[in-house]
Structure 1
Amino acid sequence: LRPALPDYTIETDMEAIPTELRGLHAANPVNLPRHRGVQIELPPRVRGTSPIWKDWAGPGLVPHTQALIDALAAAALAWPA
């Protein structure tokens, strides 16, 4: 995600994330599958809900959201089977 969203901090060091925000609780839906999952917390600008996008007329999604989708799709396609 870092190359796709260079203006954002991508935090992967669990020790740097406050305990209550780590999403490690067993009841968290992302932790239910056998191989676990990934939980991504997105700021409003990436979700496309920030006031900076109020005048966005498209086409498509706001650029930061599209960059996220493209990066996640590329990662999924490159993931070893």
Structure 2
Amino acid sequence: MKKYVIKFFQVEESEYTAIVEAESYEEAMDIFEESPFDYLEDKEPDSVEGIDYYVSKVTENGEVVYEEIKELIAEYREC
């Protein structure tokens, strides 16, 4: 029987509410992007969606048999 080493991430989607005082939307987003967690209304998440996992790499005898590089893409939308 072969031995495989599986590297994975636990992924939890948490929603927070940040309150930023600014003169415009653009200024608010600039301030927020510098340090988003400094502007949280509450340190605990508003909600937590299900926990998932993401396999990033699998090796067999030290050789990579699967690897995926996940690129973070963030979008901001006005609600």
Bucket of the pairwise TM-score, normalised by the shorter protein: under 0.3
- Structure having the larger proportion of residues in strand: 2
- Structure having the larger proportion of residues in helix: 1
TM-score by length of 2: 0.27
TM-score by length of 1: 0.26
User: Considering only CA atoms, is the larger Rg found in Structure 1 or Structure 2?
Assistant: 2
Higher relative contact order (CA 8 A, sep 6+): 2
